[in-house]
């Protein structure tokens, strides 16, 4: 069950409600240690579509903006138009990645990582059969700032996500803003209606082919394995995106990006310093342990919400569980965690991991390689128009 934005406040949910996960979007999960350090990515919720633009951008963008705004329900039309125009403005600020000006703007370590972008994209095409298209051929200097912000909300006494619905992309359990103030105002509006709300910084996003996604200056702050994981993650979104299936889209991108990065590191093991490779592998081990903490938290919260104790103690007990999980994550990673502070944080983190066990099993059946998994899923969508039953 999901609760949509048409409601003025959280629904009163029946005891024993069967809840499902839903959340945000990204190369960096907001629930992971790397996500805490680097922010996370989103699929642009204004112009995303399961299809692809067939004509040059300059011929489709303005009609598309108007169509999206007119098709959006209620006040969403103004939001869609503002976001799309800001996206268009960002596209006009991009410069060719090969331009000498790019190198002049970068620190030495960033310049050293720049050639790896091309290698990662070629690897994505050749080894993983992904389709980056014309993305990551341009550069955008964001001057160290987040490129945007995402608002995620959930019922305060159930693991049920609040959803926003848009033209083309369908309903998603996050809402992106280019303005931090706009994101804060949306979050405050939802808190006044008694929703659990969290706001996350975004450092990368995919427009699914409607725009040429750039290499952001902040991406080049990442070590090579993290850069590879981020670019592969976003390229998965561009290759296969299923409307109204946030958890599937993010779990798939997370899984293929992680599997693909491990293969990439193996291919370039002679060129990537061994300590960088070892750091990445260690991070993955910690991420797996972190996922166990979050899954245990979810089970505990579901048990609490399905069989609440008498009296007004549900939210107090929830707060204790969330605090315990934050402490466990802090001990695991060696630094303070501020998330999850709410049900919204639990759902946001889980979105990237929920279907990974199913995807791992499906990959083995498909042939054992992430390329085989992608081919199988794309064939299923092409032939049947739906996902395999275990991923629905």
pLDDT digits (tens, 9 = 90+) for 227-251: 999 999 999 999 999 988 889 999 9
What is the predicted pLDDT for the residue at 53?
A: 40
pTM: 0.83
pLDDT at residue 86, rounded to an integer:
85
95-96 and 138-140 beta bridge pairing: antiparallel
pLDDT digits (tens, 9 = 90+) for 307-364: 988 766 899 999 999 999 999 999 998 888 888 999 999 999 888 999 999 999 999 9
As a whole number, mean pLDDT of residues 7-33 equals 39
- Model confidence pLDDT, tens digit, residues 36-48: 333 455 554 433 3
Cβ distance 151 to 178 under 8 Å? Answer: no
pLDDT in tens, 168-225: 667 888 899 999 999 999 999 999 999 999 999 987 878 887 778 999 999 999 999 9
Which pLDDT value is given to residue 17?
Answer: 31
DSSP string computed for 303-357: HHHHSPPSSS-HHHHHHHHHHHHHHHHHHHHTS-----SSHHHHHHHHHTTTTHH
The pLDDT value given to residue 22: 29
pLDDT band at 8 (very low <50, low <70, confident <90, very high): low
Contact in structure between 174 and 246 (CB atoms under 8 Å): yes
Average pLDDT over the chain reads 82
> Residue 151 pairs with which residues in a beta bridge?
175, 199
Tokens of 176: 């992106």
**Pairing of β 196-206 and β 40-43:** parallel
- Label residue 10 by pLDDT band (50, 70, 90): low
Read off the tokens for 305: 């919400």
Side-chain-side CA neighbours of 145 within 13 Å: the count stands at 10
Token pair listed for 252? 């798939």
């Amino acid at each position: 069950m999901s609760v949509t934005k048409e409601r003025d406040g959280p629904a009163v949910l029946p005891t024993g409600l069967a809840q499902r996960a839903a959340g945000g979007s990204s190369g960096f999960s907001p629930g992971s240690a790397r996500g805490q350090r680097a922010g996370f990515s989103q699929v642009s919720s204004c112009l995303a579509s399961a299809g692809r633009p067939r004509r040059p951008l300059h011929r489709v963008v303005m009609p598309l903006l108007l169509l999206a705004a007119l098709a959006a329900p209620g006040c969403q039309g103004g939001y869609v138009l503002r976001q799309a125009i800001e996206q268009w403005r960002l596209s006009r600020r991009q410069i060719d990645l090969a331009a000498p000006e790019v190198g002049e703007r970068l620190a030495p370590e960033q310049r050293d990582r720049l050639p790896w972008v091309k290698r990662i994209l070629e690897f994505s095409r050749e080894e993983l059969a992904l389709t980056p298209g014309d993305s990551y051929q341009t550069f955008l200097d964001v001057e160290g700032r987040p490129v945007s912000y995402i608002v995620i909300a959930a019922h305060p006494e159930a693991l049920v996500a609040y959803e926003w619905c848009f033209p083309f992309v369908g309903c998603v359990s996050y809402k992106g803003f280019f303005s931090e103030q706009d994101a804060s105002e949306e979050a405050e509006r939802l808190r006044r209606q008694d929703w659990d709300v969290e706001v996350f910084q975004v450092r990368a996003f995919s427009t699914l082919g409607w725009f040429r996604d750039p290499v952001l200056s902040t991406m080049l702050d990442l070590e090579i394995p993290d850069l590879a994981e981020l670019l592969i993650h976003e390229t998965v979104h561009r290759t296969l995106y299923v409307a109204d299936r946030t958890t599937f889209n993010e779990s798939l991108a997370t899984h293929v990006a992680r599997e693909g990065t491990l293969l990439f590191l193996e291919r370039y093991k002679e060129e990537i310093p061994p300590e960088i490779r070892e750091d990445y592998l260690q991070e993955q081990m910690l991420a797996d342990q972190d996922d166990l903490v979050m899954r245990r938290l979810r089970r505990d919260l579901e048990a609490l919400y399905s069989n609440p104790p008498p009296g007004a103690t549900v939210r107090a007990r929830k707060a204790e569980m969330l605090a315990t999980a934050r402490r466990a994550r802090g001990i695991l990673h060696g630094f303070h965690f501020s998330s999850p502070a709410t049900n919204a944080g639990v759902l946001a983190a889980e979105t990237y991991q929920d279907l990974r066990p199913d995807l791992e099993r499906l990959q083995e059946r498909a042939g054992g390689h992430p390329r085989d998994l992608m081919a199988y899923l794309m064939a299923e969508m092409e032939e049947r128009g739906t996902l395999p039953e275990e991923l629905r």
